[in-house]
Amino acid sequence: MDKILIHGGRPLAGSIKVSGSKNSSLPILAATLLTREPCVVHGVPDLSDTHYMLQILIHLGAQVERASGTVTVSADNIGSVAPYNVVRKMRASICVLGPLLGRCKEATVSLPGGCVIGDRPIDLHLKGFEALGAAVRVEGGNVKVFAPKLTGAIINLRGKFGPTVLGTDNVMMAAVLADGVTVIEGAAQEPEVVDLANFLNKMGARIEGAGTRRIIIEGVSALHGTEHDVIPDRIEAGTFLVAGAICGKGITVKRVEPEHVRSTTNALASCGFPISIADHAISISPNGEAKALELTTEPYPGFPSDMQAQMCALLSTTDGISVVTENIFPQRYMHVAELKRMGAEMQLEGATAVIQGVDRLFGAPVMASDLRASAALVLAGLKADGITEVSRVYHIDRGYERLDEKLSELGAHIERVKET
């Protein structure tokens, strides 16, 4: 098992290119199951999560080829059962349920289990399938769905903590082959949902309204193969922008969609960091007197929960008292205890973190607990005095393509070593 060592205090400078979006790639790869014809997807990041998804597709009977970020999937003959041993490593594997139901009219997919950032149930996914006419059973740790015919319906997918992204994806993928018109109310507006809808439309689907709270899907009889470029990863882009704020002399993040990271750049600008935005590049410059911030996570286009931990790392050394409230996953604060080991002063009050900025952080052995918490610890290590040792970095490899190498290109002293 690997760990990452960060020798803090090195200023970052230069430019870096953002990889393709993990959260777009996973449902798009699942959507290739909707057609017998080959689909070619460009810009798929080299991550453990995308590897797991390809393993699931292969298990289901698809033929998969991968080379230099391009994945070709041919799903001519597929099965409809994805057991626990192939889905257990990744919660997003549940997004094969929708395309299997849409194409095969039945599916059995094992529940992938819980998550360290809190319970993320799939009840809204199943509610959507039932509205389309499917019978749903959950037994023995498996979800079984069956429908001799899917029929369009009006479905509201807004949950307790806002719209469900994977639920919107799953229901949309099932509905594209249903009879009639499906209307998803309370749909997730994330750019990744729009990317999936664009991919499906290229396959011959008829989807309108993606990116709004109301998506209209006119069912078609069949889909065909297509070719598609995945959008840039907005969370990776945001993470590098925060790295530039923490210890940058001036860095530029390239291959980014500025509108997708607007809430992050707005937050950084509110802290006092100069931001310069071009067509597909964003630059951030240092500020010796950064300001504290009040921040609340919200569904897109609000500030993303996936950037909350990284901002906590930044605010830990920002003068004054910052207040961060987590409205999407209230339990998503596993990074707080680890940042406190490095000298951060943070207190949790329910779903709110109160952060008193300190002058210095100190390198320490810390443990990654989830994907974004891992990134926060690496960012803090860039700022800290001494050496920060981050273990369990397989969490990082789930969602960041070559994070340590890219930071090294910007001037960080960071290395990956084997744990003894």
pLDDT digit string (tens) for 221-231? 999 999 999 99
CATH architecture of the domain 2-19+232-418 equals Alpha-beta prism (3.65)
Q: Is the pLDDT of residue 251 over 50?
A: yes
Arithmetic mean of pLDDT, 252-279: 97
Residue 113 is predicted with a pLDDT of 53
- What pLDDT does 119 receive? 47
What is the per-residue pLDDT for 111? 83
| Cβ-count burial 233-271 (b if 16+ within 10 Å, e if not) | bbbbbbbbbbbbbbbbebbbbbbbbbebbebbbebbeeb
Residue 82 or residue 260, greater confidence? 260
Task: Give the SS3 label for residue 272.
Answer: coil
**Nearest alpha-carbon partner for 65 in 89, 82, 90, 44:** 44
pLDDT in tens, 78-95: 999 998 888 887 878 899
Give me the pLDDT at residue 83, please. Answer: 84
Interatomic CA distance for residues 55 and 33, integer angstroms: 13
pTM above 0.85, yes or no: yes
Mean pLDDT (the chain) is 94
Average pLDDT over residues 46-71: 95
Q: Which fold has domain 22-229?
A: UDP-n-acetylglucosamine1-carboxyvinyl-transferase; Chain (3.65.10)
H-helix or E-strand containing 97? helix 97-104
Exposed, middle or buried: residue 72 (CB in 10 Å: 0-12, 13-18, 19+)? middle
Token pair for residue 195? 């990317």
Residue intervals in the chain for CATH 3.65.10.10: 2-19+232-418, 22-229
Given this model, what pLDDT does residue 62 score? 98
pLDDT, tens digit (0-9, with 9 covering 90-100), for 289-323: 899 999 999 999 999 999 999 999 999 999 999 99
pLDDT digit string (tens) for 149-183? Answer: 999 999 999 988 789 999 999 999 999 999 999 99
**Residue 120 confidence (pLDDT):** 52
User: Could you give the 3-state DSSP secondary structure of residue 44?
Assistant: coil
Note the pLDDT of residue 116.
45
Cα 204 vs. chain centroid, distance in angstroms? Answer: 26
> Which residue is catalytic, options 115, 247, 271, 312?
115
Could you give the C-alpha distances from 115 to 81, 132, 158, 251, in angstroms and in order? 23, 28, 21, 33
Give the span between the Cα atoms of 303 and 301, in whole angstroms.
7
- 115 an active-site residue? yes
- In contact, 255 and 232? CB cutoff 8 Å: yes
Residue 87: what pLDDT?
85
